[in-house]
Amino acid sequence: MGTWMWVQGSAPHSVRSAVLNQINQPSCTASGLFDSGIKSSGTFSYTFTTPGRYGFHCGVAGHCENFEYGYIDVRGTPSPTVTRTWTGNGPFTTKTQRHKEAIR
């Protein structure tokens, strides 16, 4: 459904899936779904295949407690709607375009 890529900065950090708490926010407890390991460079990718909310945090000691966490809401695959209306005598005199982008 979608691949997320985290890009590492210079300091050692990690990205690790997190258990969601009672109010659907990421906690500092690992959920075991993914774990980049501690990295100082490079990237880490994970592909989400099931809709839902996925929490993550940094696994370096003390970092999650210092607000290094977040979450990703994975939605189902919507059907994109593209509507184009062309009016006027020639091409491109008037154009309206509505383009609904979907998160996949």
Q: How far is the CB of 19 from Cu ion (least distance, A)?
A: 18
Among 60, 70, 72, 74, binds Cu ion (CB under 5 A): 60
| Binding residue for Cu ion, selected from 18, 44, 63, 69, defined by CB under 5 A | 63
**Interface with Cu ion, residue 58, by CB under 5 A:** yes
By CB under 5 A, residue 68 contacts Cu ion: yes
In the complex, what is the shortest distance from the CB of residue 75 to Cu ion, in angstroms, rounded to a whole number?
Answer: 27
Candidates 2-10, 17-25, 56-64, 79-87; binding stretch for Cu ion (CB under 5 A): 56-64
One-letter amino acid at 91 equals P
Say if residues 4 and 46 touch (Cβ distance below 8 Å): yes
C-alpha–C-alpha distance, residues 26 and 64, integer Å: 10
Do residues 35 and 44 touch, judged by C-beta distance below 8 A?
A: no
Cα–Cα distances in Å, from 39 out to 18, 28, 60?
A: 18, 18, 10
Binding mask 3-22 for Cu ion (x = CB under 5 A): ----------x---------
Listed in sequence order, the residues at least 6 apart from 101 whose beta carbon sits closer than 8 Å to its beta carbon are: 80
Instruction: Give the footprint of Cu ion on this chain (CB under 5 A).
Output: 13, 58, 60, 63, 68
